[in-house]
């Protein structure tokens, strides 16, 4: 089973925890997952430099940047610049969430594989995770019959024997 290391970068802890749950759900019995959450943009650079993450999921306009500026445009610009620099060096996938419609094109051009708006559907997010991570197909195991089903089958067998 492969090991996936997912870095979630967002100042919104509740969104990060929801996404972590979706990642764990998608990867259940298909991959081992290690998640790390951080509000700091610099953690992307630090951890990719050592090759830790397999996937980065971030909210490019809701992170803490090193300069300390909190202007929306400054945060988005620094996030996109960092993503572009990393994408020049590696093919590690990025997923962005919380992106406005007018910024979606810019985020995709920076090298992000999937972009989600401020309100996103969990099932659609799971589908994109499966696509981006290229996980093996989920193996469905047949349900074992319970004792009432076995008893019912036994009675049916008796009636057919007559």
Q: Maximum distance among all alpha carbons in the chain?
A: 85
Residue 67 is predicted with a pLDDT of: 67
User: Is residue 76 predicted with pLDDT exceeding 70?
Assistant: yes
At 121 the pLDDT is: 87
- Residue 24, pLDDT > 90, answer yes
Range in 50-59, 67-76, 85-94, 97-106 with the lowest mean pLDDT: 67-76
Please give the Cα distance from 79 to 62 (Å, whole number): 9
What is the predicted pLDDT for the residue at 105? Answer: 94
Residue 43 binned pLDDT confidence (cut-offs 50, 70, 90) = very high
Counting beta carbons within 10 angstroms of the beta carbon of residue 134, is it exposed (0 to 12), middle (13 to 18) or buried (19 or more)? exposed
CA 94 to chain centre: 9
Contact 97, 116 (CB under 8 A): yes
Give the pLDDT of residue 143: 62
How many Cβ atoms are within 10 Å of 14's Cβ, its own excluded?
8
pLDDT, the chain, mean:
86
pLDDT in tens, 79-130: 999 999 999 998 899 999 999 999 999 999 999 999 999 888 888 999 899 8
- pTM for the predicted model, two decimal places: 0.80
To the nearest 10°, the Cα dihedral for 34, 2, 53, 60?
-80
Q: Note the pLDDT of residue 139.
A: 66
Q: Give the strands of the sheet with 55-58, arranged side by side.
A: 31-38, 2-9, 55-58, 94-96, 114-115
For residues 127 and 29, what is the distance between their CA atoms, to the nearest angstrom? Answer: 16
Say what the pLDDT of residue 54 is: 93
Class of the CATH domain delimited by 2-161: alpha beta
């Amino acid at each position: 089973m492969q090991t996936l290391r997912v870095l979630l970068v967002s100042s919104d802890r509740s969104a990060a925890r929801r996404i972590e749950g979706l990642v764990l759900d998608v990867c259940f019995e298909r991959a081992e997952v290690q998640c790390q959450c951080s509000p700091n943009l610099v953690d992307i650079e630090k951890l990719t430099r050592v090759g830790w993450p397999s996937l980065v999921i971030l909210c490019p306009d809701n992170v803490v940047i090193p300069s300390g500026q909190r202007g929306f445009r400054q945060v988005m610009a620094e996030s996109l610049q960092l993503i572009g620099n990393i994408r020049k060096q590696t093919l590690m996938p990025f997923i962005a969430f919380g992106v406005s419609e007018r910024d979606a094109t810019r985020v995709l051009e920076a090298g992000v594989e999937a972009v989600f708006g401020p309100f996103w559907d969990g099932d659609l997010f799971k589908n994109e995770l499966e696509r981006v991570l290229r996980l093996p197909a989920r193996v469905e195991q047949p349900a074992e019959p319970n004792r009432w089903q076995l008893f019912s089958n036994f009675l049916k067998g008796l009636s057919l024997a007559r």
